[in-house]
Amino acid sequence: MFLKSIEVDSFRNLTGRIDWAHGTNVLYGNNGQGKTNWLESIQVLAHGKSFRTRFLYEAIAFGESTASVNGTVHHGDAIDRELRVGIQRNTKQTFVNGKRESAARYLGQLHAVWFTSDELEVVRGGPDARRSFLDRGVISLHSPFAQTLSDYSKVTRQKKRLLEQAAEREIRLDELRELIEPWNRQLIALGAQIHRARNRYVDLLSEALEHSLFGDSMAIRYVSSLETKGDLSNYEQLIADRLQIRLEAEMFAGACLIGPHRDDLDILFRDRNLRSFGSAGQQRSALITLDLAAISVYHSKHQDYPIFLIDDVDAELDGIRIERLLEYLDGRTQTFVTTSKRNHFERFNQRANFYEVRDGVAREETVFNAPMMRAGNVV
């Protein structure tokens, strides 16, 4: 997988187009010039989402009503694909070769893994970030899973609305049980699919972690909210039983209390949870290790590599880890790195392409030779 170019229109402070190189691409410049914005635009092109904001319209340039990100992607021997994400205040549209595609069908055209300060929430933050990390990984292997998640979210929203109405109208419990049964049936079926898919993905990640670059004694474990409540191997029956038992509690809470939307992922170092006991350095190393495991799993499935985005690398990793990381990635992924310290990458001058970013414009350096293609590079 290779992102050949990207072009933006009214996206933050960015202007123009960049033609990317294979291997490592380093965007450097002073703070506030737009380095991270270019990285964000790549993620938007890949996933239709931003690692910086939940509301994509916030990326529209001041004074404009729409924005777009366009790119050309190459897959192996396949012909190039033209991707486009259009952004408006209340809508987002995705296109492949000029044809409108649903978000679920668009995913998989360009898969990105990213390491940013915000993404450290996967290790140190709440369960939402860890569930999102797992779900992105599952989608990277099986894109229809995006529709399963969407359907599950719709069911839980509808059920929550019904629970709230039941509390307001003081509906009897037996009446509510009858009304909510159709939603619970869907929740059971979809929840079981999510539970199994996430567990399979965690198993694959665990295998990849055995060959991790940075971490010794690191492990992960999927934690179902129904642990200790019954037989997880018969998940459908277990969740059905718990939905019956907890219906009254759900009515009083006005919320869905049972299902995989309440699950979590334990990230452990020497059997201690890194969220609570890990140092800042250990947490950063853990996220990099998880990202590399995700890249390995993706490659095992597709015999191809995703692209890798690393924001403000020298602020998050020390020099030794940067060198080890880039050495490992060289010949594997197409990598995009931002830094305010160009001199930290002197030893990669002959193997990386450099782009100086000023006022939202990225200009490629021509002083150094383009990186030599090596066996194993993504083409």
> What was the pLDDT predicted at 103?
83
Length of the chain: 379
Is the domain of 333 the same as that of 238?
A: no
Whether residue 50 contacts residue 115, with contact meaning beta carbons closer than 8 Å, is answered with no
CA-based nearest residue to 366, from 377, 376, 353, 357: 353
Task: List the CATH number of the domain containing 377.
Answer: 3.40.50.300
Residue for token pair 């369960």: 127
Residues 189 and 271 in one domain: yes
Q: What integer pLDDT is reported at residue 314 of this predicted model?
A: 78
79 touches 12 (CB < 8 A): no
Rg (C-alpha) for the chain, rounded Å, is 22
Domain count of the chain? Answer: 2
Whole-model pTM: value is 0.89
Same domain, 199 and 294: yes
Distance CA 305, CA 319 (A): 25
**Domain check: are 6 and 104 in the same one?**
yes
Domain check: are 242 and 147 in the same one? yes
145, 7: one domain: no
Residue 83, token pair as written in the block: 């991707």
Look up tokens 């334990």; give the residue.
Answer: 266
Helices (H), the chain: 35-47, 103-106, 121-124, 127-141, 145-169, 173-209, 235-245, 247-253, 274-277, 280-302, 313-316, 319-329
DSSP secondary structure code for residue 60 in this structure: B
Instruction: Residue 38: name the closest of 103, 114, 98 by CA.
Output: 114
Chain centroid offset of residue 204 CA: 17
The residue from 261, 279, 305 where one domain ends is 305
| pLDDT score for 76 | 74
Tens digit of each residue's pLDDT (9 = 90 or more) over 183-203: 999 999 999 999 999 999 999
Helix-then-strand count for the chain, H and E:
12, 15
Say yes or no: 222 and 203 in one domain: yes
* Cα gap 287→309, rounded to integer Å: 13
Task: Quote the domain boundaries for residue 177.
Answer: 120-305
Nearest by Cα to 39 from 300, 308, 368: 308
Q: Are residues 133 and 254 in the same domain?
A: yes
Distances (CA, A) of 290 to 3, 57, 341: 23, 30, 26
Q: Cα–Cα–Cα angle for 28, 308, 290, nearest 5°?
A: 120
Q: Of the residues 239, 273, 305, which one is the last residue of a structural domain?
A: 305
Per-residue pLDDT tens digits of the chain, which is 379 residues long = 899 999 999 999 999 999 999 999 999 999 999 999 999 999 999 999 999 998 999 999 999 999 999 999 998 767 899 999 999 988 999 999 999 998 888 888 999 999 998 999 999 999 999 999 999 999 999 989 999 999 999 999 999 999 998 888 888 888 899 999 999 999 999 999 999 999 999 999 999 998 766 556 789 999 999 999 999 999 999 999 999 999 999 999 999 999 999 999 999 988 899 999 988 888 988 999 999 999 999 999 999 999 999 998 877 777 777 888 888 888 889 999 999 888 778 777 778 899 999 999 999 987 544 443 333 332 2
Under a CB-based contact definition with an 8 Å cutoff, are residues 359 and 34 in contact?
A: yes
Query: How far lies 226's CA from each of 154, 248, 255, 263, in Å?
Result: 21, 17, 17, 8
SS3 139: helix
- Give the integer Cα–Cα distance in Å for 74 and 80: 5
The whole-number pLDDT of residue 369 equals 44
Max CA-CA distance within the chain? 76
Same domain, 288 and 239: yes
Q: Is there a single domain that holds both residue 222 and residue 94?
A: no
Which of 288, 305, 322 is the last residue before a domain boundary?
A: 305
Q: At what angle do helices 280-302 and 319-329 cross, to 10 degrees?
A: 0
**C-beta separation of 251 from 167 below 8 A:** yes
Question: 105 and 198 in one domain?
Answer: no
Could you tell me the CATH number of the domain that includes residue 198?
Answer: 1.20.1050.90
Domain co-membership, 59 together with 206: no
